[in-house]
Chains A and B, each alone.
Chain A
């Protein structure tokens, strides 16, 4: 079987730029979420539809991103 319907898009979530990738393989949709910079995958989920997979991954991503702290860059 082949991967099908690969899609990629960017959006803001919890104040951070993220990239959402999804595709179908067999009967399952897979979604992974990367931070745009530096490009690390930090959340993923799967589901029977693309919407379900993305919703699951976005929920995790928002939780993880809420724990990322920003610091001042001066001494």
Chain B
């Protein structure tokens, strides 16, 4: 197993290690409040991992505060997991790498697997001795902004991977069923290939084998020796695909376009391809 992945067994054995901090990351903390891995911190993607004024990643000072109050210093091994198939845990992983944290891992299978295995849960909110955290960056080589995506689309200069569902890709729907529509137009960025995030995972939420993942991307013409940009609707599903490409398959030049369809699909004059 890649050294950025740990199993649920590993977490059960190491969650109380002094240099390890388990963190549940969800779009909100409702699931965390209902019961979480004992000793885990809970991070709210909406309010704690994003800038709540400007649409942006969390500012460096806020990240340092969040990590410090979670009892994390620069040498801590951070193990992330969450609901929604680890989507928001992958976002946290991406951000932590942008800010230079060395040792971050994801619990393979996420919250779903932990619960399905009838493992221990706790509703206790742990208190952590505050630590001082010094972040670096952000490393924007891991993040694609709109101008770069526009150039990649127009010049077919990078592999654009749309990780949304086929119905979102074709424009049949504007958001995942049951969720609010967040764009004015449906479809996809011209030149993008549709490789839904779920193709990276097995039914229990764990990642597929490296051989299976290599085959998935190579058959779609996405190669390790080309620049790749992944996107979805708000950047969390594409964080998971970014994680797969960069850390499980070793792609050197892969970026997450967190502006994603909520940016592109609302831009006046932006070209849209459909179906």
- Give the one of A16, A32, A41 with max B CB within 10 A: A41
Number of inter-chain CB pairs below 8 Å: 98
In angstroms, Cα B238 to Cα A41, docked, is 17
The total of chain B residues at the interface (CB under 8 A) is 40
Indicate if the CB atoms of B121 and A3 lie closer than 8 Å.
Answer: yes
Which applies to chain A's interface (DSSP): helix, strand, loop or mixed? strand
Contacts of A69 in B (CB 8 A): 173-174, 181
B35 at the interface (CB under 8 A from A): yes
A1-29 contacts to B (CB < 8 Å): 1-6, 8, 16, 18, 21, 23, 25, 28
The total of chain A residues at the interface (CB under 8 A) is 36
With contacts A2-B120, A40-B179, A69-B181 known, what are 20 further pairs, Cβ within 8 A?
A2-B118, A2-B121, A3-B119, A4-B118, A5-B118, A23-B115, A25-B35, A30-B34, A37-B165, A39-B85, A40-B84, A40-B178, A64-B178, A68-B173, A71-B171, A71-B174, A73-B170, A73-B275, A74-B275, A75-B274
Binding site for A on B (CB under 8 A): 30-31, 34-35, 83-85, 112, 114-122, 164-168, 170-179, 181, 186, 196-198, 237, 274-275
